[in-house]
């Protein structure tokens, strides 16, 4: 069920993204590079979380598409820059050449910059169905989550930690910031658009943090046990960079238990607070645990 749901909503988000990219004409290499970097078979987890939040709150999901698309652009730019030779130096992502391999390094830097900048343009230009006050709150939340005190902070500590023995608090900082903040923010801005209560925001944020962590732990497991053909990048690439991971600190067996614990807790919160209405959130948590890519 959840796979079909993710696919359906993912396709709707991709349609929105495609429409926005069609508004750009020149330089062609940027337009092509933006499309290549974003429309590449990603899971669309972040934008779909926003739409799911609106559905849970009984609101019109059409209010969420511009913001959902902007969030996916920001997620994609972070991958483009993360893959660069100076950072993770990855040649493949989802079985295709990374953006710098396909377009060149200078081009990839500028394509990433374009995606980030265009995301803010979309937020300001396409949210005419929302009040200006809501739009500004959304821009504030997203720029915070994507910035120094969020995703980029996590990326920087990740880079600075390469080849070092890092402790658990540092690993947790990296995960909660590099991945977690951008999984939490679609739920937060969905709550702003859908006018959720304080209590609802609290439960949804707790859920987001748990699945964000589960997502990262599963990534670490897949980097050891995954299959190149399925995940689309070389196995063991994190180990090759001497990156700290959950398995490197806790061992593989304990890591798998931790994954299960996070997912169970996330499901419990939703079932208790939202009942049947939260079924996609429950299914998504299970999907994150079971996914093979």
Instruction: Kindly list the residues in this chain that would bind a copy of itself in the complex (CB under 8 A).
Output: 24, 26-27, 29-31, 34, 81, 84, 86-87, 104-107, 109-110, 112-114, 116-118, 120-121, 123-125, 131-133, 135-137, 139-140, 143-144, 146-149, 152-153, 155-157, 159-160
CB 161 to a copy of itself: min, Å? 11
Of 62 and 131, which has the nearer Cβ to a copy of itself?
A: 131
The residue with tokens 């396709």 is 11
Instruction: Select 110 or 249, whichever has its Cβ closest to a copy of itself.
Output: 110
**Tokens standing for 283?**
């299914």
- Per DSSP, the chain holds a count of helices (H) and strands (E) of 16, 2
**Beta carbon of residue 92, minimum distance to a copy of itself (angstroms, whole number):** 19
Least distance between a copy of itself and beta carbon 46 (Å): 16
DSSP code for 149 = T
Judged by CB, which is closer to a copy of itself: 39, or 109? 109
Burial of 11 (0-12, 13-18, 19+ CB in 10 A): exposed
Q: Are 269 and 207 in contact (CB under 8 A)?
A: yes
Quote the least distance from Cβ 164 to a copy of itself, whole Å.
14
- 218, 225 in Cβ contact below 8 A? no
Helix axes 65-82, 105-125, angle to 10 degrees: 160
CA dihedral 240, 244, 247, 249 (to 10 degrees): 140
- In the bound complex, what is the minimum distance in angstroms from residue 283's beta carbon to a copy of itself? 33
| Nearest residue (CB) to a copy of itself, 81 versus 233 | 81
Nearer to a copy of itself by C-beta: 118 or 207?
Answer: 118
């Amino acid at each position: 069920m959840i796979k079909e749901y993710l696919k359906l909503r993912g396709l709707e988000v991709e349609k929105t993204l495609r429409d926005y990219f069609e508004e750009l004409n020149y330089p062609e290499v940027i337009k092509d590079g933006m499309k290549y970097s974003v429309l590449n078979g990603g899971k669309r987890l972040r934008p779909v979380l926003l739409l799911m939040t609106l559905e849970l709150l009984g609101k019109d999901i059409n209010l969420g598409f511009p913001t959902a698309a902007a969030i996916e652009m920001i997620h994609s730019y972070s991958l483009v820059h993360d893959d660069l030779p100076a950072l993770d130096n990855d040649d493949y992502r989802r079985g295709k050449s990374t953006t710098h391999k396909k377009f060149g390094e200078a081009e990839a830097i500028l394509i990433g910059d374009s995606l980030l900048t265009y995301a803010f343009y979309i937020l300001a230009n396409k949210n005419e169905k929302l009040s200006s006050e809501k739009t500004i709150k959304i821009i504030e939340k997203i720029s915070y989550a994507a910035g120094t005190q969020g995703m980029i902070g996590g990326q920087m500590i990740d880079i600075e930690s390469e080849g070092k023995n890092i402790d658990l608090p540092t690993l947790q900082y990296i995960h909660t910031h590099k991945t977690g903040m951008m999984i939490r923010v679609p739920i937060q801005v969905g709550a702003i658009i859908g006018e959720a209560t304080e209590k609802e925001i609290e439960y949804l944020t707790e859920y987001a943090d748990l699945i964000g962590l589960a997502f990262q732990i599963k990534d670490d497991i897949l980097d050891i046990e995954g299959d190149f053909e399925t995940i689309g990048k070389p196995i063991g690439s994190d180990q090759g960079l001497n990156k700290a991971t959950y398995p490197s600190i806790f061992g593989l067996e304990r890591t798998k238990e931790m994954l299960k614990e996070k997912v169970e807790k996330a499901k419990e919160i939703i079932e208790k607070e939202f009942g049947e209405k939260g079924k996609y959130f429950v299914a998504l948590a299970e999907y994150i645990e079971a996914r093979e890519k």
